[in-house]
Amino acid sequence: MDTRFTGVIPPVITPFTAEGGLDLDSLEAVVDRLITAGVHALFALGSSGEVAYLTDAQRDAVIERTVAAAAGRVPVLAGAIDTTSQRVIEQARRAVGLGAEAVVATCPFYAKNDAQEIAEHFRAIAAAVEAPLFAYDVPVRLGGVKLECDMLVELGRQGVLAGVKDSSGDDVGFRRLVAANEAAGHPLALLTGHECVVDGMLLLGADGVVPGYGNVDPHRYALLWQASREGDWARARQIQDEICAGFEIVFVPRGRSADATGIGAFKTVMEAQGTIASNRMAFPVRALDGRVKDGILAIATAQGLI
């Protein structure tokens, strides 16, 4: 297992100015704050980074600035998110050329493929890209497609995959993956995308966590990780409960889209924290405002986040 890509690895949000352009200065501030808080790596251009909304030029700018801001203090993984293999490879090569030390790719989407085709997809990407490859398992954005445990471990054993980012919410599946990975000699770094059951996932053997909410409260995730390394699970649970109390911000918006709700709530607190200049979202998602914003900030204040 490549230990560079373990521990707390937040999927870095992408800040926008109030006018809607990329806000790379705010991005630098986010990166600094995350590293200062003790995270172990950064994941640029993930779903929380609104990667799907960014043009190629914007994606490049985000990676470039993230790598520059990280300045070698922690490694940077980059999402190479596109519909199919050849398109992903184009994304991935640009990212690696700009300094990303690992790439993260999903199975094909819009396309409709079976397990064998999905395995070939990852093989082709790994063969074409000079960097460790993580499989990104995120059924909720991919029409429900879930990556199979046996395939993932086999691809790990063959050196195709360096790890998995599991955002499936299928904790039983994740535990089976941990066990199968262990039995195969632990080739894969297994990262949970959970924000709220990280204590349990670390207890059962996760190698790291990629929490979107880590943009808001990176310090507590670092403490949670530390407690888990010390085997202090009661403390881990206590920290996780505190995290969850803050995470309630994402349940304040009602009747808004999933992206507006989650990423929007994170950005709203980060704006109040002074890390980013605006809680603006990528077009066409409207930023949270009014009573929703008030409700989010009330929770964040009560939880000591601002």
Residue ranges of the binding site for pyruvate: 210
The CB-of-279 to a copy of itself minimum distance in angstroms stands at: 16
Residues with a catalytic annotation lie at 136, 165
Helix axes 171-183, 149-157, angle to 10 degrees: 30
Q: Which is it for strands 189-192 and 163-166: parallel, antiparallel or unpaired?
A: parallel
224 binds a copy of itself (CB under 8 A): no
Q: Are 121 and 107 in contact (CB under 8 A)?
A: yes
By beta-carbon proximity to a copy of itself, the closer residue of 69 and 296 is 296
Residue 81 found at the interface with a copy of itself (CB under 8 A):
yes
Q: Binding site: what residues are annotated?
A: 210
Q: How far is the CB of 174 from a copy of itself (least distance, A)?
A: 8
Smallest gap from residue 236 Cβ to a copy of itself (A): 8
Is 254 a residue that touches a copy of itself (CB under 8 A)?
no
Query: If binding is defined by CB under 8 A, does position 120 make contact with a copy of itself?
Result: yes
Please count the other Cβ atoms lying within 10 Å of the Cβ belonging to residue 83. Answer: 12
Residue among 71 and 251 whose Cβ is closer to a copy of itself:
251
Does residue 229 bind a copy of itself (CB under 8 A)? no
User: Which structure tokens are listed for 157?
Assistant: 């054993």
Separation of alpha carbons 294 and 288, rounded Å: 10
What 3-state DSSP class applies to 170? Answer: coil
| Contact predicate 103/128, CB 8 Å | no
When the beta carbons of 187 and 211 are compared against a copy of itself, the nearer one is 211
Instruction: Work out which of 17, 64, 169, 219 binds a copy of itself, going by CB under 8 A.
Output: 169
Amino acid making up residue 203: L
Using rule CB under 8 A, residue 52 touches a copy of itself: yes
Instruction: Give the Cα separation of 90 and 85 in Å (integer).
Output: 9
Stretch that binds a copy of itself, among 35-43, 210-218, 278-286, 289-297 (CB under 8 A): 278-286
CB–CB of 15/215 below 8 Å?
no
Other C-beta atoms within 10 Å of 231: how many?
Answer: 9
- Residue 178 near residue 204, CB atoms below 8 Å: yes
Binding site for a copy of itself (CB under 8 A): 47, 50, 52-55, 58, 81, 83-87, 90, 108-114, 116-118, 120-121, 124, 140-144, 169-172, 175-176, 179, 194-197, 199-201, 203-205, 231, 233-234, 236-237, 240-241, 244-245, 255-260, 282-286
